[in-house]
Amino acid sequence: MDPTIDQNVSVEQEASAAFVQSYFDAFAAHDLPRCVDAYTDDATLHFVAGVYSGKSAIEEWHRERFAAELQILRIDSISSNHDSVTVDLVVASKRLQFFRIANLAGRGVLRLDGSKIKEARFSPRFCDPFEGW
């Protein structure tokens, strides 16, 4: 994964973006302990319509995504602004394939507390289907 990282960021923002990149690397490797360790004890993860609060729930969310064979196909960009990192990515999974969706563009917004994720919001990223016609 070779994301485009905004070049107009501070050293702290660059470190935040690098931390989030390492989280997605752990996710791609299905490294459950490393993924869960990236979150604070009282973190909240929002995923489409579900909310997962606390490390136990976040661990279960990761297990469910790994069981569905969720794959990060690519990370298009990572940008950092103070304590928040926004990631645009493309994913695929068995669950998406069931609905005949080959891949899906998504956005993750991760709010950090020091060197841990305090809150994560993952949602589909929609685009104009007629763009480029």
Task: Evaluate whether residue 129 is within a structural domain.
Answer: no
pTM: 0.84
Residues 6 or more apart whose Cβ sits within 8 Å of residue 42? 53, 54, 118
CATH of the domain at 46: 3.10.450.50
- DSSP symbol at 131: T
Residue 132 lies in a domain: no
Let me know if residue 130 belongs to a domain: no
Q: How many domains does the chain have?
A: 1
**pLDDT score at 10:** 72
Residue 133 included in any domain: no
In a domain, 10, yes or no: yes
CA geometry: angle 84, 123, 36, nearest 5 deg: 60
Domain that holds residue 43: 4-124
Tell me if 78 is assigned to some domain.
yes
Q: What is the pLDDT along the chain (133 residues), one digit of tens a residue?
A: 545 444 545 788 888 989 999 999 999 999 999 999 999 999 999 998 899 999 999 999 999 999 999 999 999 999 998 889 999 999 999 988 888 989 999 999 999 998 999 999 999 987 655 554 4
